[in-house]
């Protein structure tokens, strides 16, 4: 494909938007997605470690709830800080740094000698994890062609299911194999520290970020790399329009605050219900009378339902749009949680758990697709990080709420509360903008 005098001159963002999905897009999604999967593996592993330590260390429900929640304290801080740094020093740099932090901290957690030491390491792990997720989704969304952006970001988010599945496999195969099984499981979580080197060397920096920082030569080289992969001849970049500046008042400026409030509501509700349910799931199954191995096996099967949930969301975000897809999957999550609360017997536990898993992870795919589209480039990393950080407050609170809810009304009350949280998130979703097929910085 060549250009001539009659061909309109395009900005770099427009040149990226016109491209098909290429091997460079694939490398970006897989490169970011591997880091995402390693994140999920670490978060998922703690649910199996909790179940093992409850027996080995004779931990109380309160101690277990703090082990489940402390990582999310770090994630709340990390998400907010990571978003701010991503808008100042770059998406790729922050992504690589966060992988290094949580990889090293996870390996160190395998050496924990007490509850207190494990809590410290989990806090450090959370700092890295919290910063990585919104930064990776922002980077991928800024390269994806607008007509495919939702599907590409959901594909990135699908790596979360891969990582959680790895955690379930490690939990099932490694954790029960002796008193040191949980230590070996956490030692495997040190892999991200090595992968950080690959990320730093192999992934491109965001073109939009580079242009905002006046690094036009690097921005042009990145665009040409993707054009070459598509077989498209490069052309001189058009004069850049004035990039939308961050509004005075930032995320809470007039015209922006409604979107921020809606987005934070969605993130809070989905975090509360998801982490409250899945962090405690193996332990709750053990408490219900399942032995450790059977509990881990059921959790593995329930986790498998996440993959088709992502696949469905990847199709529907481009057919229905982000907002209706998000609402439908959140409503399905509420139904799944309510049915799980009423489940009696092995088959009912499995089926309703898989409904919850399918719907919940489809909702996660949709929320990650819509989040980078809510704000302009100058605020995108900050906005995504702040929403994720606010959501982490819910993921801190949810595991802590489970023990008193169990005392008050058993697992039925626990999952009834989670169903209500999904309903609140679905209500908030209606106030989000619908940006299917639009350029990221379109008015």
Boundary residue ending a domain (211, 238, 265): 238
- CA dist., res. 97 & res. 213, Å (int): 20
Residues 6 or more apart in contact with residue 239 via CB below 8 angstroms: none
Same domain, 287 and 168: no
> Whose structure tokens read 């987005």?
263
Burial class (CB in 10 A: 0-12, 13-18, 19+), 418: buried
Same domain, 232 and 264: no
Same domain, 168 and 262: no
The answer to whether residue 159 sits within a structural domain is yes
- CA dist., res. 277 & res. 418, Å (int): 8
Same domain, 217 and 274: no
- CATH number, domain at 321? 1.20.1250.20
The answer to whether residue 244 sits within a structural domain is no
- CA dist., res. 313 & res. 33, Å (int): 17
The answer to whether residue 144 sits within a structural domain is yes
184: which 2 tokens? 């070996």
Same domain, 281 and 234: no
What is residue 305's DSSP assignment?
T
Q: What is the largest CA-CA distance in the chain?
A: 76
The answer to whether residue 9 sits within a structural domain is no
Closest to 366 in 3D by CA, of 398, 400, 323, 405: 323
Burial class (CB in 10 A: 0-12, 13-18, 19+), 114: exposed
Which pLDDT score, from 0 to 100, does residue 2 have?
Answer: 44
**Cβ(421)–Cβ(273) below 8 Å:** yes
Same domain, 203 and 82: yes
Cα angle at 428 between 328 and 432, to 5 degrees?
85
Residue 435 φ/ψ, nearest 5 degrees: -120, 25
The answer to whether residue 28 sits within a structural domain is yes
Which pLDDT score, from 0 to 100, does residue 131 have?
Answer: 74
Same domain, 109 and 202: yes
Same domain, 233 and 368: no
Which pLDDT score, from 0 to 100, does residue 3 have?
Answer: 44
Q: What is the pLDDT along the chain (443 residues), one digit of tens a residue?
A: 444 444 557 888 889 988 999 999 998 898 888 878 877 887 788 878 888 888 888 888 888 888 877 887 888 888 778 777 877 777 877 877 877 887 788 888 889 999 999 999 989 888 887 777 777 878 888 898 888 888 888 888 888 888 888 888 888 888 888 788 889 888 887 776 677 666 666 778 888 888 888 888 999 999 999 999 988 877 665 555 555 556 666 788 888 889 999 999 999 999 999 888 887 777 777 777 776 667 777 878 888 888 899 889 989 998 999 999 999 999 999 999 999 888 877 788 889 889 999 999 899 989 988 998 888 877 888 888 889 889 888 988 887 888 899 889 888 899 999 999 999 999 999 999 988 888 776 54
The answer to whether residue 5 sits within a structural domain is no
Same domain, 51 and 87: yes
When divided into structural domains, the chain yields a total of 2
Range of the domain at 105: 15-238
Predicted structure pTM score: 0.74
**Cβ(168)–Cβ(299) below 8 Å:** yes
- CA dist., res. 173 & res. 198, Å (int): 28
Boundary residue ending a domain (185, 203, 238): 238
Burial class (CB in 10 A: 0-12, 13-18, 19+), 426: buried
Which pLDDT score, from 0 to 100, does residue 265 have?
Answer: 97
420: which 2 tokens? 């209500």
Which pLDDT score, from 0 to 100, does residue 396 have?
Answer: 83
Same domain, 217 and 272: no
- CA dist., res. 354 & res. 304, Å (int): 8
Boundary residue ending a domain (206, 238, 270): 238
The answer to whether residue 126 sits within a structural domain is yes
Same domain, 67 and 99: yes
| DSSP code per residue over 107-173 | HHHTT--SHHHHHHHHHHHHHHHHHHHHHHHHHHHHHS-TTTHHHHHHHHHHHHHHHHHHHHHHHHH
Exposure string of 351-377, with b = 16+ CB inside 10 Å and e = fewer, is: bbbbbbbbbbbbbbbbbbbbbbbbbbb
E strand spans, 18-113: none
**Cβ(95)–Cβ(35) below 8 Å:** yes
Cα angle at 258 between 255 and 259, to 5 degrees?
95
Give the three-class secondary structure for 438: coil
The answer to whether residue 1 sits within a structural domain is no
Same domain, 147 and 220: yes
Which pLDDT score, from 0 to 100, does residue 367 have?
Answer: 93
Q: Give the orientation angle of helix 306-319 with respect to helix 322-342, to 10 degrees.
A: 150
The conformational region for residue 250 under phi > 0 = left, psi -120 to 50 = alpha, else beta, is left
Closest to 156 in 3D by CA, of 270, 36, 41, 308: 36
| DSSP code per residue over 11-28 | -HHHHHHTS---HHHHHH
């Amino acid at each position: 494909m060549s250009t001539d005098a009659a061909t309109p001159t395009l900005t770099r963002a427009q040149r990226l938007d016109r491209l098909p999905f290429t091997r460079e897009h694939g490398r970006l999604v897989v490169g970011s997605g591997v880091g995402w999967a390693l994140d999920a593996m670490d978060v998922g592993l703690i649910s199996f470690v909790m179940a093992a330590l409850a027996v080995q260390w004779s931990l109380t429900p309160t101690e277990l709830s703090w082990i489940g929640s402390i990582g999310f304290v770090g994630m709340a801080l990390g998400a907010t800080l990571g978003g701010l740094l991503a808008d100042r020093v770059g998406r790729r740099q922050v992504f690589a740094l966060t992988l290094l932090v949580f990889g090293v901290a996870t390996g160190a957690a395998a050496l924990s000698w007490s509850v207190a030491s494990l809590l410290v390491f989990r806090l450090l792990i959370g700092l890295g994890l919290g910063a990585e997720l919104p930064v990776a989704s922002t980077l991928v969304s800024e390269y994806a062609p607008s007509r495919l952006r939702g599907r590409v970001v959901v594909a990135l988010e699908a790596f979360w299911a891969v990582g959680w599945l790895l955690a379930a496999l490690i939990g099932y195969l490694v954790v029960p194999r002796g008193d040191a099984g949980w230590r070996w499981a956490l030692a495997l979580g040190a892999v991200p520290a090595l992968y950080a080197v690959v990320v730093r060397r192999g992934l491109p920096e965001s073109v939009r970020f580079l242009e905002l920082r006046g690094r036009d030569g690097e921005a042009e080289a990145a665009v040409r790399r993707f054009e070459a992969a598509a077989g498209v001849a490069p052309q001189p970049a058009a004069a850049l329009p004035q990039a939308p500046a961050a509004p005075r008042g930032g995320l809470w400026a007039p015209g922006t605050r409604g979107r921020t409030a809606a987005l934070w509501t969605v993130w809070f509700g989905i975090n509360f219900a998801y982490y409250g349910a899945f962090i405690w799931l193996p332990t709750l199954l053990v408490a219900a009378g399942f032995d450790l191995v059977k509990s881990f096996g059921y959790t593995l099967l329930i986790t498998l339902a996440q993959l088709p949930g992502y696949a469905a969301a990847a199709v529907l975000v481009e057919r229905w749009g982000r907002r209706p897809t998000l609402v439908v999957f959140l409503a399905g999550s509420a139904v799944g949680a309510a049915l799980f609360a009423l489940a009696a017997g092995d088959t009912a536990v499995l089926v309703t758990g898989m409904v919850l898993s399918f719907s919940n992870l489809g909702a996660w795919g949709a929320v990650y697709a819509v989040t980078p589209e809510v704000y302009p480039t100058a605020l995108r990393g900050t906005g995504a990080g702040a929403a994720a950080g606010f959501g982490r407050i819910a993921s801190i609170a949810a595991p802590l709420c489970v023990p008193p809810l169990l005392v008050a009304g058993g697992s039925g009350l626990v999952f009834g509360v989670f169903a209500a949280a999904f309903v609140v998130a679905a209500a908030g979703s209606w106030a989000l903008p619908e940006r299917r097929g639009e350029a990221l910085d379109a008015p």
